[in-house]
Each structure stands twice: as structure tokens, then as C-alpha cells.
């Protein structure tokens, strides 16, 4: 999505240097994918080794001064999620952004994630409904291919903010697949409006915490 394939992590005097996406070093990335010799190599690690790497990604990477640190986790409530929360707790994380699709099965899984956040003392910043309808690339009309409104109902029942819905959009998917900047290339898309609205709500609720 960021066009960072083939980039490598290097050692510096402060630990690992993250992968920077531009000369200004405005966005930096760290992923286990940068540590693999081959992109198709599977990571077959037991819990303690995975948890130790998560802690390293927080404490042993030369992040420098950050406006925001975004941790993208897979769905679920596994040991990796616990390790990430414990590694970040000392830095007072702003909270979790929970993403669901509208179907009942997905909403049920995400409901358990909300319970996980409450039990671990992690604030829920809000819920986003992804794949909420299909945006036609020709007429821009949005059709509900799946059910609709599951994310909003979940947020209401959980008493957390509903931040918005993001439709299925072929132009967005193509941009992500090819590593292009969707925001700049398709400013007239309804998906652009949805993404900007969600981002603005997050920014308004969580001002950057600079040292």
C-alpha cells in the first residue's frame, strides 16, 4: 500500500532505523516483513518470540519525535494484542480505533474486541464500518451489497462514537494495490469524503501529543 516493498531496516546508534517513505521522513514504517529474507517466507514463531519482537518495535526503534504512532493489528484478542498494549502502556496510548464490516458475523467478533478494550483499560476512540456498500466507478452511486448499519448499531450499543462508513470502491482498492495516493488522485470520490470525515473526527478528538 505504501510502495515500500524491498526496503530494509538498518541498525543505527539508537537501535533499528525505521523505513522512511519520503525525504522529509514525515512517515516511517516498521514491519516484520522488512526483516524477512524472502517476501513469501512464513513467520512461524511461538508466543514469547512474537511478544518480544512487538516490544522491540516499540522500544528499540529510533522513531524520533512523532505526532502519532499507529499500530495496525489483525482482528482478534490474542497474545499479540496484549503484548502491544503492555508495550505501549507507559506511553499512555490515545486509544483503539475499531473497524468492522456490516455483516452480523463481523459485528459479533468486533463486539468481543470492544470487551477486550474495556478489560485492558484501553479507550475506544470509535467504530468505523468498512465495506459499507459498493460505489460505482461510473455513476458514483452507492449500493448496499452486504447488509448496512451494523457498525453504527454496534457503536450505539457499546456507547462509543461512530466515526463513519467507508464503501467498497474499485478506485480505492486499485490505489492500495498499486501503492498510489488515493486522496490526491480521486478527490471527487464519495470514498474520499468518507475517509476525510473519519480522519478529521479522530484528529479533533485526539490532538497530537508532542514531547
DSSP-derived secondary structure for 84-144: HHHHHGGG----EEEEE-SSHHHHHHHHHHHHHHHHHT--EEEEEEEEEEEE-TTT--EE-
Residue 207 is predicted with a pLDDT of: 62
Residue 140, pLDDT > 80, answer no
Q: Residue 17 — φ and ψ, nearest 5°?
A: -90, 125
Domain for residue 4, yes or no? no
Domain membership of residue 81 as a residue range? 10-93
Residues 111 and 59 in one domain: no
> What percentage of the chain has pLDDT greater than the value 70?
98
Domain for residue 102, yes or no? yes
Residues 114 and 205 in one domain: yes
Residue 211 is predicted with a pLDDT of: 40
Residue 60 is predicted with a pLDDT of: 92
- pLDDT category of residue 143 using cuts at 50, 70 and 90: confident
Domain for residue 2, yes or no? no
- What is the domain count for the chain? 2
Q: Does the pTM of the predicted model rise above 0.75?
A: yes
Boundary residue ending a domain (70, 93, 116): 93
Q: Residue 62 — φ and ψ, nearest 5°?
A: -80, 75
Residues 77 and 107 in one domain: no
Residues 73 and 104 in one domain: no
Residue 195, pLDDT > 50, answer yes
Amino acid at each position: 500500500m505504501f510502495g515500500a516493498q524491498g526496503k530494509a531496516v538498518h541498525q543505527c546508534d539508537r537501535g533499528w532505523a525505521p523505513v522512511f517513505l519520503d525525504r522529509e521522513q514525515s512517515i516511517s514504517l516498521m514491519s516484520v516483513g522488512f526483516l524477512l529474507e524472502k517476501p513469501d517466507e512464513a513467520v512461524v514463531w511461538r508466543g514469547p518470540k512474537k511478544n518480544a519482537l512487538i516490544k522491540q518495535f516499540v522500544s528499540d526503534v529510533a522513531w524520533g519525535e512523532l505526532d502519532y504512532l499507529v499500530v495496525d493489528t489483525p482482528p482478534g484478542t490474542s497474545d499479540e494484542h496484549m503484548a502491544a498494549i503492555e508495550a505501549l502502556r507507559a506511553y499512555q496510548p490515545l486509544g483503539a480505533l475499531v473497524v468492522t464490516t456490516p455483516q452480523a458475523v463481523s459485528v459479533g467478533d468486533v463486539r468481543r474486541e470492544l470487551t477486550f478494550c474495556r478489560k485492558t483499560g484501553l479507550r475506544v476512540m470509535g467504530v468505523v464500518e468498512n465495506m459499507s456498500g459498493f460505489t460505482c466507478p461510473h455513476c458514483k452511486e452507492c449500493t448496499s451489497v452486504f447488509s448496512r448499519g451494523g457498525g453504527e448499531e454496534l457503536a450505539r450499543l457499546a456507547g462509543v462514537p461512530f466515526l463513519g462508513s467507508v464503501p467498497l470502491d474499485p478506485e480505492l482498492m486499485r490505489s492500495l494495490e498499486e501503492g498510489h495516493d488515493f486522496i490526491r488522485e480521486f478527490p471527487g470520490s464519495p470514498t474520499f469524503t468518507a475517509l476525510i470525515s473519519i480522519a478529521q473526527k479522530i484528529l479533533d478528538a485526539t490532538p497530537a501529543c508532542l514531547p
